[in-house]
Amino acid sequence: MEENKEQILIRRLLMKEEAAWKELFGSYSGSLSGICSRYISGKDDVRDVLQNSFINMFRSIKSFEYRGSGSLKGWMIRITINEALKHIKQHSGTATDTDISEFPDIPNEEEPDLEEIPKAAIMKMIQSLPDGYRTVFNLFVFEKKSHKEIAGLLGIAENSSASQFHRAKGLLIQRINEFKMSKKAQYE
């Protein structure tokens, strides 16, 4: 069976070939930086987490197990998310550093229509969420983690995860509606 490009790259990474690591960084740093940005707001912090992620990858490449096309990227994403969560815990004490009473309890509304909102605007709205809300929202929506898994990862109660997700979603709906109103006002 012939090796594909990904398997060849992995073999080169295992041999600690510097050019292979540069290739890996060049190929994946953009998308991994985007993942970091979903969890962490400061550019310097994103860069630090990304750098720590690559250091962790370098140190643990021997434990990587190839499981088919895309498994390398999946492994890298898991490491990056874990580094982002570690960074959040180290810099905010816990992932729930926001006083919940600061935000109104927003009732369940209909899902907003996201068609006319640019993806970059939605990502900015997600990045602007308070740390705890943003972390739970990302883990639940993008990483498809259950509230039980999120609670375990963040060291919080399962109902806290569900509550923070509900409030994050409510804040996003509020910001999406404000965005739509501001766009609508431009054309009136």
Answer yes or no: do 118 and 154 share one domain. Answer: yes
Instruction: Let me know: does 40 contact 89? Beta carbons within 8 Å.
Output: no
Answer yes or no: do 33 and 80 share one domain. Answer: yes
Answer yes or no: do 105 and 176 share one domain. Answer: yes
Answer yes or no: do 111 and 73 share one domain. Answer: no
Measured from the Cβ of residue 140, the count of other Cβ atoms closer than 10 Å reads 20
Q: Give the pLDDT of residue 95.
A: 41
Answer yes or no: do 19 and 87 share one domain. Answer: yes
Which of 31, 58, 92 finishes a domain? 92
What is the number of domains present in the chain?
Answer: 2
Q: Give the pLDDT of residue 97.
A: 40
pLDDT digits (tens, 9 = 90+) for 29-67: 999 999 999 899 888 999 999 999 999 999 999 999 889
pLDDT digits (tens, 9 = 90+) for 109-140: 455 666 778 888 888 899 889 888 999 999 99
Measured from the Cβ of residue 24, the count of other Cβ atoms closer than 10 Å reads 20
14: tokens are 């295992």
Instruction: Let me know: does 130 contact 97? Beta carbons within 8 Å.
Output: yes
Q: Give the pLDDT of residue 110.
A: 53
Measured from the Cβ of residue 176, the count of other Cβ atoms closer than 10 Å reads 18
Instruction: Let me know: does 79 contact 51? Beta carbons within 8 Å.
Output: no
Q: Give the pLDDT of residue 183.
A: 76
Element of type H or E holding 79:
helix 71-92
Answer yes or no: do 149 and 180 share one domain. Answer: yes
At 16 the three-state DSSP class reads coil
Q: Give the pLDDT of residue 188.
A: 65
119: tokens are 């993806």
Answer yes or no: do 35 and 10 share one domain. Answer: yes
Q: Give the pLDDT of residue 114.
A: 67
Instruction: Let me know: does 43 contact 129? Beta carbons within 8 Å.
Output: no
Answer yes or no: do 28 and 63 share one domain. Answer: yes
pLDDT digits (tens, 9 = 90+) for 58-99: 999 999 988 988 899 999 999 999 999 999 888 765 444 444
Would you state the torsion angle of the CA atoms of residues 99, 102, 104, 108, taken in this order, to the nearest 10 degrees? -40
Answer yes or no: do 152 and 180 share one domain. Answer: yes
Answer yes or no: do 60 and 111 share one domain. Answer: no
What CATH number does the domain containing 108 carry?
Answer: 1.10.10.10
What CATH number does the domain containing 11 carry?
Answer: 1.10.1740.10
Answer yes or no: do 114 and 62 share one domain. Answer: no
Answer yes or no: do 137 and 113 share one domain. Answer: yes
- Confidence class for position 162, pLDDT limits 50, 70, 90: very high
Q: Please give the residue range of the domain that contains residue 62.
A: 5-92
* Confidence (pTM): 0.72
Which of 92, 120, 152 finishes a domain? 92
Q: What angle do CA 179, 119, 6 make, to 5 degrees?
A: 165
pLDDT digits (tens, 9 = 90+) for 93-108: 544 444 444 444 444 4
pLDDT of 163 above 50:
yes
Which of 70, 92, 114 finishes a domain? 92
